[in-house]
Structure 1
Amino acid sequence: MSNTEPVTGAVPLSAPYYGASLSIAFSRFWRKYATFSGRASRSEYWWWVLISVVVAAIFFIIGNLAGGIYGPPTAAGSLTMGPGYGIYVALSVIWGIAVLVPGLALTWRRLHDTNRSGALYFLGLIPIVGPIILLVFVLIPQNPEGARFDR
């Protein structure tokens, strides 16, 4: 398999793909499964975020169609788990395990594209403010100096 995308004016897999379409971003996400070096464009990153949100919504719908995620409330008013809850959790856990490493790698490469160390990903572990800082970092446009993270 070649190291380029099968399109005219191909962008090497080792370079960020600015203006990537949804299908290209999806393909590159899986082809760069555990690649922490290099960079990822904003389009690559945000198309994958959209795909992840859609998949989570589909799992939620499947769980509700399979009998509901939430059952009737107890006499005390607390929620109970419905029959679809197990299906929803099983699908979500399998998906979460499958995308854990490539999702981390994609965010790492996106930080590289803004000329920041991928280790800043762990700022997201700081309660409340950490995820906001990380969000700002992935929203920032590319910085050409981020090429230092390329191989």
Structure 2
Amino acid sequence: MEWYIAVLKKYAVFSGRARRKEYWMFFLFNFIIAFALGFVEGLMGSPGIVGAIYSLAILIPAIAVGVRRLHDTGRTGWWMLIGLIPIIGPIVLIIFFVQDSDEGDNQHGANPKAVAA
């Protein structure tokens, strides 16, 4: 949960780098929360307003952590736009997000693994 909160504290920080663990733990908690909201709203028969509000509230942090994750692999944040290409785009992004960090410093900052260790 601390990784999820850490991403929310960096709400609109698009600079720097994010470790794989930071990105995927945020993704996991975001998925669990969205699933739980959808399940509860389905049981209540509501139209999904709470889920839509949650999705809008979490949109900017999700994009920001994705950009920082791309920075960690040595890519620019503009690669996030490839996700708009149907089928192929999201697959390419997943491959980028799964890759290990650049060793040492890159143009986006110090390696977060070295800082955290």
Aligned to 1:108: 67
1:144 is displaced (CA, Å) by 2.6
Give the Cα–Cα distance (whole angstroms) in 1 for the partners of residues 39 and 78 of structure 2.
35
Aligned to 1:122: 81
Give the Cα–Cα distance (whole angstroms) in 1 for the partners of residues 17 and 105 of structure 2.
7
Aligned to 1:49: 27
1:55 is displaced (CA, Å) by 0.9
Q: Which has the higher helix share?
A: 2
Q: Is the 8 A contact 1:115 1:146 kept in 2?
A: no
Aligned to 2:93: 134
Deviations 1:72-118 (A, max 9, x none): xxxxxxxxxxxx141xx201111111111111000000000000111
1:34 is displaced (CA, Å) by 0.4
Deviations 1:31-75 (A, max 9, x none): 111000000000000001101110111112212221xxxxxxxxx
Q: Which runs of 5+ in 2 are unaligned?
A: 111-117
Aligned to 2:50: 91
Aligned to 1:144: 103
**Which one of the candidate residues 36, 39, 42 is aligned to 1:58?**
36
Give the Cα–Cα distance (whole angstroms) in 1 for the partners of residues 13 and 28 of structure 2.
21
Q: Summarize the Cα distance change of 1:38–1:112 in structure 2 as closer, same or farther, 3 Å threshold.
A: same
Aligned to 1:30: 8
Q: Which runs of 5+ in 1 are unaligned?
A: 1-21, 67-83
What is the number of residues matched between the two proteins? 110
**Superposition RMSD on alpha carbons, in Å?**
1.5
Identical aligned residues as a percent:
35
1:146 is displaced (CA, Å) by 5.7
Give the Cα–Cα distance (whole angstroms) in 1 for the partners of residues 104 and 77 of structure 2.
14
RCO comparison, higher one (Cα < 8 Å, 6+): 2
Secondary structure of the 2:62 match is: helix
Larger Rg: 1 or 2?
1
